[in-house]
Amino acid sequence: MSKYPHPIQTVTLALTGASGMPYGIRLLECLLQSGKTVWLLYSQAAQVVAQQEMSLTLPASAAACQTLLCEKFNVRPTQLRVFGKDEWFAPPASGTNPADAMIICPASMGVVAAVAHGTSDHLIERAADVCLKERRPLVIVPREAPLSTLHLENLLKLSRLGAVILPPAAGFYHHPQTIDDLIDFVVARILDQLHIPHTLMPKWGE
């Protein structure tokens, strides 16, 4: 996956119903700031988590959510497109028009299991399935503790299929002073996987 030869321009970002929504929203902000086109997908459970953890209301309507987030991050709808879970004609649903990469952040264990077993009941799962079959980078940021044997087996299966498993485990060697510093550490690691430049924190040794 890391040897994908083309620069990343379009990213599918999926928000699911695991704790850790600040990682996903900060990642969305950074992708947009870097000029990437983002195709955003989110589950109903993600709406609940966003409200609980960030007091952020993600409308049930994809169109309303797109309007809200485009205004929030001051970008055009051509740069940020939001799709509903049953929009099977959305670009990420087909291998004929996939994104250059996909990130699931945060990734619930339910979505991890569905992707690992190829059920593709909703657009998030189908988009991940497309990334795997088309050999596009897929970064999964699982948020659960502790991990059961079943969780570990599903994550191992996805790793063997080529996905990058990147738990949101913040480091402390950069002497974080705020929660935002810890969030940025994880987001920086995600962006590094896709070779997307950032200034969230210095590289090791610099």
Tell me whether residue 61 is annotated as binding: no
Tell me whether residue 4 is annotated as binding: no
> What b-and-e string marks burial along 63-94, b requiring 16 or more CB atoms within 10 Å of the CB?
eebbebbbeebebeeeebbbbbbeeeebbbbe
Tell me whether residue 43 is annotated as binding: yes
Q: Which two tokens stand for residue 195?
A: 């070779």
Beta sheet of 101-107, edge-to-edge order:
80-83, 37-42, 10-15, 101-107, 138-142, 164-165
Tell me whether residue 162 is annotated as binding: no
* Alpha-carbon gap, residue 198 to 172, rounded angstroms: 19
What three-state secondary structure class fits 30? helix
Tell me whether residue 108 is annotated as binding: no
Q: Is 2 exposed, middle or buried (0-12, 13-18, 19+ CB in 10 A)?
A: exposed
Tell me whether residue 205 is annotated as binding: no
Tell me whether residue 143 is annotated as binding: yes
Q: Which two tokens stand for residue 16?
A: 């699911």
Q: Which residues are annotated as a binding site for FMN?
A: 17-19, 43, 143
Q: Which residues are annotated as a binding site for dimethylallyl phosphate?
A: 173, 189
Q: Which residues are annotated as a binding site?
A: 17-19, 43, 143, 173, 189
